[in-house]
Amino acid sequence: MRPLRILHLLSQRPDSTGSGIYLQAMLTAAAERGHTNAMVAGIQNDRPVTPSGVAAPDCHFVRFGSTDFPEQIVGMSDVMPYESRRFGDLTPAAVARYEAAFSRQLQLAIDSFQPDLIHSHHLWLVTALARRCFPQIPVVTNCHGSDLRQFRNCSHLRERVGRCRTLDAVLALSTSQKGEIAALYGIEPAKIHVVGAGYNDRRFFPVAKATPEPVRLLYAGKLSRAKGIPWLLRALSAIAITDWHLDLVGGGSGPEKAECLRLAEAIGDRVTIHGALPQNELADLMGQAHLFVLPSFFEGMPLVLLEALASGCRVVSTRLPGVNELVGNLDSDAVSLVDLPRLEAIDQPHPDDSARFVTNLGSALAEQIEAARGGHPVVTPQIADRLSRFTWPRVFARIEPIYRAAISHHRSA
C-alpha cells in the first residue's frame, strides 16, 4: 500500500499533556511505517517545541501571546500544566479570533503539504473548524475525554462543534467512552472505533527497585483538584505508616496549584515537588518508584498507568471507567482501585463524601505500601500480556486501517 501524507492537528502544545504525548507517538509511529507527517498545533510564543517524526518546514504553529492570538493559550482542561485560558471564559469575539488563527495555519499547511487526511485531536472547536473549512479532506479524530468535559460545561459552544457529527471516523479510548461520544455528539456508533491509548515501551520497562526504605510513591499529572491531589495529600497525612516518600510530578496554575503545594509543604520532607518533567526524567522516577498513585475524578484512559505498570510499579487508582476497563479485571494484588465519591459535576466530588473518600484512599495506600515492602514482582505474565496490547506501534496498527477506510469512504461519498 502506498504511504500516506498525514496532517496532525492539535489545538494546544504537542507535549505536556496526554493528548500531546499521543500526538507525538502518532508522529513517530507513522514515520516508522513510512508515512509522511505535517502538523498544526498551538504553542506559547516564547516556548518553542521540536517534535520528532515531522520535518520542521511541515510544522505550523498558532502562537499564543503573539499577533496570531495575543492572549494565553486556551487549554482543553480548565487547569493546564502551564498558564492558560478557559474556553468557558472566551468572548464571542475571542472565539472568532481563535478560529481565524487556526484557519490560517491550516490553510498554509494544506496548501504546502497536500495531505491525504487530517488526524485531529479532541472533538472540539478546531476539529469542527477543519471539517467545516476543508470538507474535501477526510478527518479522523481522537477523543481524549477533556473534550467531553468541555462539551458538557460549555453549552454555548456546542453549536460550533456540530460538524463533528460529520467526521469520517472517531477514535475512542475505551468502550465506555464510545458510548459517551455517541450520546453527546450524535455520531453514528459505526464511525467510532475503540483503539485505546499507548505507552513507550522503549522508555518505560521494569528495572530493579531499591530496597523500600522508605517506600517510594509517585504521582504524575496536573496539580489540580480534578486530579484528586488535595485528597491524596490528606490521605497520606492521616495514615499511620510513615515510612514513605512521595514524588509529586506535574505542573498547574492558579489557586488549585497553590492549594496542592500548600498541602504538600505541610507534610514536610516526605514530599518532593518536582514540577513538570520531560518523559525521560519521568521514566527515571518511575524506575525508582514502588507505588504509583492516580486519585483522579476524571480521565479517559490514562497513559501514565500503563507507564507505571510497565515500570514495575504497584498502582492505587480511582475506579474510573477507563481505568476499570484497562486494569479492573487483572488478577493481581499489585493494583488497588478505590471507588469514586459521588460527583456534583464531572470532576467535583460531593462534599458529604469527601471524608469517606480520604479514608478509603488512605486504606488502599497503606495496603500497597505494606505490600511494596514484601518486594514481590509486579509485572506478572498476565500484566505483561495486557501491556503488550498498548504499545504505541500496536495502537497505530489499529489506527492505520481506519485511516485508509476513511480515505476510501470519503472518496466514494
Q: How many CB atoms lie within 10 A of CB 389?
A: 13
The pTM (predicted TM-score) of the whole model is 0.87
Whether 5-198+391-412 shares its CATH topology with 215-388 is answered: yes
> What are the residues whose beta carbons fall under 8 Å from the beta carbon of 158, sequence distance 6 or more?
151
Domain 215-388: which CATH number of 3.40.190.170, 3.20.20.70, 3.40.50.2000, 3.30.1320.10: 3.40.50.2000
Judge contact between 310 and 199, C-beta under 8 A: yes
- Gap between the Cα atoms of 5 and 7, Å rounded: 7
- Name the maximum alpha-carbon separation found in the chain: 65
Calpha distance 116→111 (Å, rounded): 12
- The confidence score (pLDDT) of residue 36 equals 98
198-210 residue pLDDT tens: 999 999 998 888 8
Rounded-to-integer distance, Cα 373 and Cα 19, Å = 35
User: pLDDT digit of tens for each residue in the chain (413 aa)?
Assistant: 899 999 999 999 998 788 999 999 999 999 999 999 999 999 999 888 888 899 999 999 999 999 999 999 998 987 777 788 899 999 999 999 999 999 999 999 999 999 999 999 999 999 999 999 999 999 999 999 899 999 999 999 999 999 999 999 999 998 989 999 999 999 999 999 999 999 999 999 988 888 899 999 999 988 989 899 999 999 999 999 989 999 999 888 788 899 999 999 999 999 999 988 988 899 999 999 999 999 999 877 788 888 999 999 999 999 988 888 888 777 778 899 999 999 887 668 888 999 999 999 999 999 999 999 887 767 778 888 888 989 999 999 999 999 999 999 888 76
Classified as helix, coil or strand, 193 is strand
Question: What's the confidence (pLDDT) of residue 346?
Answer: 67
From the centroid of its chain, how far is CA 163? Answer: 23
Exposed / middle / buried, residue 10 (Cβ in 10 Å: 0-12, 13-18, 19+): buried
> The C-alpha cell of 219 is what?
504521582
Question: How many Cβ atoms from other residues are within 10 Å of residue 219's Cβ?
Answer: 27
Q: What residue segments make up the domains of the chain, in order of their start?
A: 5-198+391-412, 215-388
Strand partners, 76: none
Between β-strands 244-249 and 271-275, what pairing exists: parallel, antiparallel or unpaired? parallel
Alpha-helix residue ranges (DSSP H) falling in 318-391? 321-327, 354-374, 381-388
The tens digit of pLDDT for each residue in 323-361 reads 888 887 777 788 999 999 998 876 688 889 999 999 999
Please tell me whether residue 354 adopts helix, strand or coil conformation: helix
CATH of domain 5-198+391-412: 3.40.50.2000
